[in-house]
């Protein structure tokens, strides 16, 4: 992990430990550089990471301030950059239900820009937090970019494997949200009644070259899921 | 409007008119600078705007490409920067139901960081698209930063007035999403049955100095609202 990401993680943890309020002024760049014994340039990169993560905001000519209006228990809808949100998600558990190769339907082929009927990976997982299931996930991976997945891999962080194992450069994502009535299978996984409303989020993840590699359909429990977006 | 925003708008419109597909390669920076008779620096700023808006992506050493996976009829959940999304929202209409001064409740005071019971503006609007109501909005504005609102202002774009009229520097926002059952009044505005599920989005908008000026509660119709996030 690059030094500036390490420092960002350290500062974020420190803000949490100290329970600093939104608007609290932090040390300036020179002081932070001295404190961590790194260049100002490294601190500038650190601040960029923290700003992207919604941990701080910078006011020109005035300083660096804590941004901390996140409410507890809300799931971020913005792609995490730099490092995972382990701390917030400490109580999260995922169970793999399915790992299989399936032929691409029209919908999958369109989203993954692969040939109809070509073989893609399907990973189905159920995510829970403090023992409560809040999400049923169906993810499809194109074999052109993800030629191999195993039970061991999908039980850990798939994105970690893609980045570190496959050296995939993860670029951007499109996410689509709407409320839909739960179909029988979905309702069952989420312990809901059929036709109960669920938040349905479709996601397409692209490499930095603009190639889609992951198309996911996520079904969220209406009571146990809430989300935030910092922009 | 700065030149680079003008050019961004022009390029975005051109991509739509030509109906270019995702991944289509655009002209390079030198060609664009010649074409618009501006400096390369201006084009670099233009490209940044287009990238933030999810209209293009840049691949280092390879070029500029069309990013265009937005589905029609989806509402962006990321704050627009630079210029409004008039084109996508051409069929949108808003009706002002309430413009009043009300005392800040605990919830409002907390979100707007103002004194309990202090006077704040309340604006209630109903938004429809192609004649179909899809959103009921309750927005509160702190008078510390928004000392004056009128019927004429709230019938137009409030944010335009804040930026141009009040010279407010709009910085960042926090948004919180969840599904809730509609209360009677909300259900009525959205032509739903009481307790029908609605998507509830709370938003807090801050100036670049980190001061909150707008706290909004938005209730979206489950069938006529869908959202996208590009990140």
Q: Do B178 and A230 touch (CB under 8 A)?
A: no
**Closest-CA distance of chain B to residue A98, Å:** 27
Confidence of residue B60 (pLDDT cuts 50, 70, 90): confident
With vertex at residue B133, the alpha carbon angle to CA B124 and CA B107, rounded to the nearest 5 degrees, is 35
pLDDT (tens digit per residue) in A168-192: 988 888 899 999 999 999 999 999 9
- CB-CB under 8 Å, B79 with A226: no
User: What is the gyration radius of the CA atoms in chain A, in angstroms?
Assistant: 20
Q: Residue B20 pLDDT > 80, yes or no?
A: yes
Question: A57 and B204 in contact by Cβ < 8 A?
Answer: no
pLDDT at residue B90, rounded to an integer: 56
Reduced to 3 states, what is the DSSP secondary structure of residue A7? helix
Does an H or E element contain A133, and which?
Answer: strand A132-142
Is B74 in Cβ contact with A231 (below 8 Å)? no
Give the global pTM.
Answer: 0.82
Across A202-211, B1-10, B212-221, the highest mean pLDDT is recorded for B212-221
Q: Tell me how many residue pairs between chain A and chain B have CB atoms under 8 A apart.
A: 120
Q: Quick check: A178 and B23 CB within 8 A? A: no
CB within 8 Å: B209 and A62: yes
Tell me whether residues B174 and A228 touch, CB distance under 8 A: yes
Measured between CA atoms, the residue of chain B closest to residue A62 is B209
CB contact under 8 A, A210 and B65: yes
For the stretch A56-110, pLDDT in tens is 888 878 889 998 766 777 787 875 433 344 335 557 788 999 999 999 999 999 9
Identify residues of A whose CB sits under 8 angstroms from chain B CBs. Answer: 22-23, 54, 57, 59-60, 62, 65, 67, 69-71, 74, 77-79, 171-179, 197, 199, 204, 206, 208-210, 222-223, 225-231
For A12-68, write each residue's pLDDT tens digit: 889 888 888 888 899 999 999 999 999 999 999 899 888 877 888 888 788 899 987
The string over B220-231, giving b where at least 16 C-beta atoms fall within 10 Å of a residue's C-beta and e elsewhere, is bbbebbbbbbbb
Instruction: Give the pLDDT score at A82.
Output: 33
- Tell me the H-state helices in B87-221: 106-112, 151-155, 158-160, 184-190
A73: nearest Cα among A84, A89, A85: A89
- Confidence label for B80 from pLDDT (cuts 50, 70 and 90): very low
Per-residue model confidence (pLDDT) at position A169: 87
- Pairing, β B75-76 against β B227-230: parallel
Q: Are A64 and A25 in contact (CB under 8 A)?
A: yes
Nearest to A229 among B22, B74, B175 (CB): B175
Q: Tell me which long-range contacts A107-111 makes (C-beta under 8 A, separation of at least 24).
A: A108/A140, A108/A215, A111/A140, A111/A202, A111/A204, A111/A212, A111/A215
B157-211 pLDDT, tens per residue? 888 899 888 999 888 888 999 999 999 999 999 999 999 999 999 999 999 888 9
- Which positions in chain B touch A204 (Cβ < 8 Å)? 69
Residue A190 · residue A124 · CB < 8 Å? no
ipTM for this prediction: 0.80
Task: State what percent of residues in chain B have pLDDT above 90.
Answer: 53
What's the pLDDT tens digit per position in A122-139?
A: 999 999 888 889 999 999
pLDDT tens-digit readout, B84-142? 443 355 577 889 999 999 999 999 999 999 999 999 999 999 998 888 899 999 999 99
To the nearest whole percent, how much of chain B has pLDDT over 70? 93
């Amino acid at each position: 992990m690059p030094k500036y990401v390490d420092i960002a993680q350290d500062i974020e943890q420190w803000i949490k430990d100290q329970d600093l309020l939104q608007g609290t002024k932090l040390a300036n760049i020179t002081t932070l550089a001295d404190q961590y014994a790194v260049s100002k340039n490294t601190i500038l990169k650190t601040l960029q990471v923290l700003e992207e993560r919604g941990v701080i905001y910078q006011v020109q000519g005035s300083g660096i301030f804590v941004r901390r209006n996140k409410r507890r228990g809300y799931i971020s809808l913005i792609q995490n950059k730099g490092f995972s949100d382990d701390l917030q998600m400490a109580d999260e558990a995922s169970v793999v239900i399915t790992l299989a190769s399936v032929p691409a339907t029209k919908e999958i082929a369109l989203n993954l820009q692969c040939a109809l009927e070509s073989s893609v990976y399907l990973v189905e997982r159920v995510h829970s937090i403090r023992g409560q299931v809040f999400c049923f996930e169906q993810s499809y991976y194109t074999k052109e970019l993800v030629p191999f997945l195993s039970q061991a891999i999908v039980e850990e962080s798939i994105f970690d494997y893609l980045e570190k194992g496959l050296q995939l450069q993860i670029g951007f994502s499109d996410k689509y949200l709407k409320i839909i009535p739960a179909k029988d299978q979905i309702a069952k996984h989420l312990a809901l009644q059929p036709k109960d409303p669920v938040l349905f989020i479709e996601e397409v993840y692209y490499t930095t070259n603009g190639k889609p590699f992951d198309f996911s359909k996520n079904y969220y429990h209406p009571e146990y899921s809430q989300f935030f977006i910092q922009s």
